[in-house]
Structure 1
């Protein structure tokens, strides 16, 4: 059981550490990063309750609706809402990369607790490996895109456009990922390829956000 627990939480903390260290200008207050992580974890239970209600009522159970609405839109909206009201409007959110860092922290808090509960039920190291590669990484990468847009919103005259784009971009990327898994549940290759492409996009956005910071504080 200890091995399963460590397997459940290790990917989330490893990814959070990676994105925390990629901030090139200054280290963000660790307390606020942890706060975002915990806020994301808190979201697991109300979201699970709503998703359970959908299943019980037979609502949004088709592959498309389940992937894009019952899962992606629901989860990404609550994460977006939590990030906006706990961090975005706070003065600590003051540069382009902050959006990425705090969005990743919130999403990984959600993904880590969700992963722990899932592995607690299935108790399998093999499943733990696949979940680290796919769902946990996926949540972090969707968050990079959301956070990049939030960082732009903070410094743009078109704030509402970027806030809306943050939510919709993360929802579409998340929905596509879940749809791939629902349509090809036994074939993980398409999902792995999708995650690899998202990693390339995420690294580009990380680099772009850091460059924007350097230009801002020149």
Structure 2
């Protein structure tokens, strides 16, 4: 029973956040099986990322800057970007800008969820520590995914400068992820003083990206099914 409770606490934040971002798609929701597939792939890349990170740590040392921006953020965001670009970018289901956010969030949250499960199983985790991880690493990965997906969506549907947006889809989440990890590595005592405003800003910025991506949907002018039903029942 204890193990089941811990696993539930480890998995629930990622599922809840994924549902939140999925339901934010206002015009053309993605197939559930596609979103679930990207979530699972995000979980599967945890092991190869861990191997690469271990090798880089042995080679480059444990400098906080190197660990934060190269070993942690660099490898993780590069692998997520690789998956999105090669499996989703040219997929027929990627047919509006917001889809990039949904799929990037799915990959990121799959990664964060399995990482959370391993944390619960391998370390002496408590419900308090899992709650803290839900508020910080899990939601952090989700927000980095939102930024990545937003710019991938811009690149997909831009009439020009798609290469610039593709670069931004990797470099911008890399920067914020690196800053996130650098705070945790360097500011041992007062990290909350920096982390709280950082997370508040990322949530604010993520909300803006979600709204802008939805506003660019080519399906905005097409009435949704619920709107059609309302029109039919109005006198």
Same fold flag (TM > 0.5): yes
1:126 matched residue in structure 2: 128
- Asked if residue 36 in structure 1 is aligned to residue 38 in structure 2, the reply is yes
Task: Name the counterpart of 1:193.
Answer: 197
Q: Does 1:207 align with 2:207?
A: no
1: CA distance between counterparts of 2:188 and 2:139? Answer: 18
Shift of 1:22: 0.3
Asked whether the equivalents of residues 103 and 144 of structure 1 are also in contact (C-alpha less than 8 Å), the reply is yes
Match of 2:163 among 132, 142, 160: 160
Other-structure match for 2:118 = 117
Counterparts in 2 of 1:141 and 1:63: CA distance versus 1, 3 Å: same
After superposition, give the CA deviation of every residue in 1:125-181 in whole Å (9 maximum; x if it has no partner).
121011000000000001111100001001112211111110000100100000011
In 1, are the aligned partners of 2:155 and 2:161 still within 8 Å (CA)? yes
Q: TM-score, normalised by structure 1?
A: 0.95
- Where does the alignment leave 5 or more consecutive residues of structure 1 unmatched? none
Q: Which has more radius of gyration?
A: 2
Q: Offset at 1:197?
A: 1.1
User: 1:204 deviation in Å?
Assistant: 0.7
* In 1: Cα distance, 2:64 partner to 2:73 partner: 12
Per-residue CA deviations over 1:65-123 (Å, capped at 9, x if unaligned) read 10000010110000000011111111110101001000000000000001110121223
Contact 2:112 2:141 in 1 (8 A): yes
Matches within 5 A, 1:1-12: 1-12=3-14
Distance 1:125 1:186, change over 3 A: farther
After TM superposition, the structure 1 stretch with the greater mean CA deviation from structure 2, 75-84 or 183-192, is: 183-192
Report the counterpart of residue 46 of structure 1 in structure 2: 48
Mind listing any 5+ residue stretches in structure 2 that lack a counterpart? Answer: 223-235
Aligned partners of 1:60 and 1:200: how far apart in 2? 35
CA contact (8 A) 2:27 2:220 kept: no
**2:100 aligned partner:** 99
Shift of 1:188: 4.2
Match of residue 88 from structure 2: 87
State how far apart, in whole Å, the 2-side matches of 1:192 and 1:128 are: 17
CA contact (8 A) 1:149 1:165 kept: yes
Across the aligned residues of Structure 1 and Structure 2, the Cα RMSD in angstroms comes to: 1.4
Contact 1:79 1:107 in 2 (8 A): yes
Alpha-carbon distance in structure 1 between the residues aligned to 2:121 and 2:190? 24
Number of the residue aligned with 1:136:
138
| TM superposition shift of 1:192 | 2.5
Q: Offset at 1:217?
A: 4.6
Report deviation, 1:39. 1.0
TM-score in terms of structure 2 length: 0.88
In structure 2, relative to structure 1, the CA distance for the partners of 1:180 and 1:24 (3 Å cut) is: same
Listed as ranges, the matches of 1:163-182 within 5 Å are 163-182=166-185
